């Protein structure tokens, strides 16, 4: 989280609780990857909490780069692949699935570019104005390309998915990105990751809606079967 170590660890605890609740609402294997997102956000917040400690406490200094790359693994590599892939796997509609496959490809492209940046360029991290600033040296063309692919991978799949509630996730991600870009551009990696983590509540809602829909469908099927049996009995 972008304010302090304590705030990051608190956010991690809240996200972990939401994550457990989300996994309990998973109906099938296709939803498992999507249901794991809040727990992964919790782990990411723990990593940034540890990074805060390395930046503000001298005795933890030797762990600074390990904590930095652990956090950036989530922000720069995992999410561009995990989010579109989870929605792709969960999608039952074939036409939407084809469109989502494009988002998956965009996510893989973003992750490859961002991984290249992390491996072959210097990464500087410091605390400024109660935020963590990640400065990754790279060319403007790579920044532009990775940004385009990243947004396509993270936001658009939520608009495309047929699952109820995902559009709310998309709008929150979009508005939070714009707000972060306008007010916290220098700290975009840290601040937007915090805002993105807040979508965990909406992800839980998506799974609850899916669970309720499955329960309703099951009830309808049971009622129809009961009526059919009664009809056959009388005939």
Mean pLDDT, the chain, as a whole number?
87
Kindly give the residue spans of alpha helices, DSSP state H, lying in the chain.
5-24, 32-35, 37-56, 64-72, 79-90, 94-120, 140-154, 156-160, 166-183, 188-197, 200-234
pLDDT digits (tens, 9 = 90+) for 188-233: 888 888 888 888 999 999 998 885 554 444 444 444 554 555 555 5
Q: What is the pLDDT of residue 198?
A: 84
Task: Confirm if 103 and 84 have CB atoms less than 8 A apart.
Answer: yes
- Residue 21's closest CA among 211, 183, 182? 211
Using DSSP's 3-state secondary structure scheme, residue 174 falls into helix
Q: How far apart are CA 193 and CA 72, in angstroms?
A: 10
Supply 45's token pair: 């917040």
Q: What is the pLDDT of residue 212?
A: 53
- The pTM for the full model equals 0.85
Task: Confirm if 6 and 53 have CB atoms less than 8 A apart.
Answer: no
Q: How far apart are CA 141 and CA 219, in angstroms?
A: 54
Q: How far apart are the first and last CA of the chain?
A: 67
Sequence-ordered list of residues with C-beta below 8 angstroms from that of 32, at least 6 positions apart, any chain:
23, 26
pLDDT digits (tens, 9 = 90+) for 113-153: 999 999 998 999 998 888 889 998 888 899 999 999 999 99
Q: How far apart are CA 100 and CA 85, in angstroms?
A: 8
Task: Confirm if 46 and 9 have CB atoms less than 8 A apart.
Answer: yes
Q: How far apart are CA 134 and CA 136, in angstroms?
A: 6
Q: What is the pLDDT of residue 158?
A: 96
């Amino acid at each position: 989280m972008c304010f302090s170590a304590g705030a990051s660890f608190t956010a991690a605890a809240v996200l972990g609780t939401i994550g457990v609740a989300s996994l309990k609402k998973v109906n099938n294997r296709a939803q498992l990857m999507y249901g794991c997102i809040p727990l992964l956000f919790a782990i990411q917040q723990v990593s940034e909490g540890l990074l805060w400690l390395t930046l503000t406490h001298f005795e933890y200094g030797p762990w600074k780069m390990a904590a930095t790359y652990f956090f950036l693994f989530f922000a720069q590599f995992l999410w561009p692949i995990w989010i579109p892939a989870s929605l792709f796997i969960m999608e039952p509609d074939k036409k939407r699935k084809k469109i989502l496959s494009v988002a998956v490809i965009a996510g893989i492209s973003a992750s490859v570019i961002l991984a290249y940046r992390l491996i072959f360029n210097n990464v500087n991290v410091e605390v400024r104005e109660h935020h963590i600033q990640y400065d990754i040296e790279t060319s403007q063309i790579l920044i532009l390309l990775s940004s385009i692919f990243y947004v396509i991978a993270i936001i658009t799949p939520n608009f495309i998915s047929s699952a109820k509630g995902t559009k709310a996730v998309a709008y929150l991600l979009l508005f939070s990105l714009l707000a972060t870009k306008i007010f916290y551009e220098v700290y975009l990696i840290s601040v937007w990751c915090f805002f993105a983590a807040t979508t965990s509540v909406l992800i839980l809602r998506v799974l609850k809606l899916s669970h309720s829909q499955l329960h309703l469908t099951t009830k309808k099927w049971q009622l129809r079967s009961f009526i059919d049996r009664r009809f056959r009995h009388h005939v």
